[in-house]
Amino acid sequence: MTDHSLSATPDTVHWGRFWSDLPPVKEIDAGDRIVIETLSGKEEVLPDPASGLTVTDTHRAILAADLPRVAHLLTGPVAIKGAMPGDVLKITIEKIDLGADWGFNIVRPTAGTLPGEFPVSGKATTVIPIDRAAKTAKLPWGATLPLDPFFGVMGVAPPPEWGELASTQPRLHGGNMDLKLLTEGAVLYLPVHVEGGLFSCGDGHGCQGDGEVCITALETALTGTFTFDVLKKGETPIDFPRAETAEEIISMGFHASLDTALQIALRQMIAMIREHVDISETEAYQLCSLAADFAVTQSVNQEKGVHGRLKKALLRRG
């Protein structure tokens, strides 16, 4: 294993694009570990200088650079040598560090789960101080939030025939999954569609509730430590993003309809169960009803998300 680092600079970031023709800013070998720095926030959400909160010179330089702006600020892409279409990237999230002493939350009048209802007029932006040592954030009205950071966006290049995609929606390639279970120690599996995979990440979240109902979480800068392994074609039959923790397997479903997103996540969970234990589809379906938990991941990214969770201990006979 070789260790690498990738800082967020005007030369290593891009605004919200997943594309097979986006050139990699870093290339690593399969099995290598890399520390990736990400930043979050456009000019309008930066804290007031009088607040005492810190905006780095690098963040300001990225905002001042003439980069095409689409959606989220992402770092990458990173190419993994040997990853080919049909393979699967196994991405172990080893560590996530808070990268700023502030974050923000935005409500837009025409977005979110209740469009047209909040706020009454204009856009509501709240800058929220972060205590990185305590891993907490203090809301203006006094509540203290415990932080469990994760990356809202992690993805690879989509199939070339899909062209360039914004990072707004989650799809087959990953992207804006907003799955709060993808914290330190979790493993994410993504199907590979182009040589090298071309992994980018960003949209750092200090914390988030399932649903992400007002369209943003606690948006903040994060630095992640990832290890990338390549599972060769046929080795692991994965055709959709999935994940696991030490205790659970996690399925996902994305669709404009929450009903359809649930059906996708359920079918994925049934398939995952049968990869672990030799039972029928009907038995796996029954197990899902008896023991799997399905929840709304997010309801605000056009393609909505549902995720399923099942304890690994239930996948052992006897």
Q: What is the pLDDT of residues 211-266, one digit of tens each?
A: 999 999 999 999 999 999 999 987 777 999 999 999 999 999 999 999 999 999 99
* pTM, to two decimals: 0.96
Residues 54 and 199 in one domain: yes
Phi, psi (rounded to 5 degrees) for 131: -100, 100
Bridge-based pairing of strands 88-98 and 222-231 is antiparallel
**pLDDT tens, 13-31?**
999 999 999 999 999 999 9
CA-to-CA dists, residue 147 to 123, 131, 217, angstroms: 25, 9, 11
**CATH number of 51's domain:** 2.60.120.580
Average pLDDT of the segment spanning 124-148: 96
- Indicate whether 318 pLDDT > 70: no
E-state strands within 167-241: 170-171, 174-176, 187-191, 199-205, 222-231
In a domain, 153, yes or no: yes
Residues 259 and 227 in one domain: no
Residues 212 and 246 in one domain: no
With H, G, I as helix, E, B as strand and everything else as coil, classify residue 94.
Answer: strand
Residues 53 and 193 in one domain: yes
What percent of the chain shows pLDDT beyond 70?
100
Angle between helix 258-276 and helix 281-291 axes, rounded to 10 deg: 110
**pLDDT tens, 151-200?**
999 999 999 999 999 999 999 999 999 999 999 999 999 999 999 999 99
- Indicate whether 316 pLDDT > 90: no
**CATH number of 284's domain:** 3.10.28.20
Residues 6+ apart with CB under 8 A from 103: 40, 127, 128, 130, 137, 206, 218, 219, 220
Q: What mean pLDDT is reported for the chain? A: 96
Count of domains for the chain: 2
- Using only C-alpha atoms, the chain has a radius of gyration, in whole angstroms, of 19
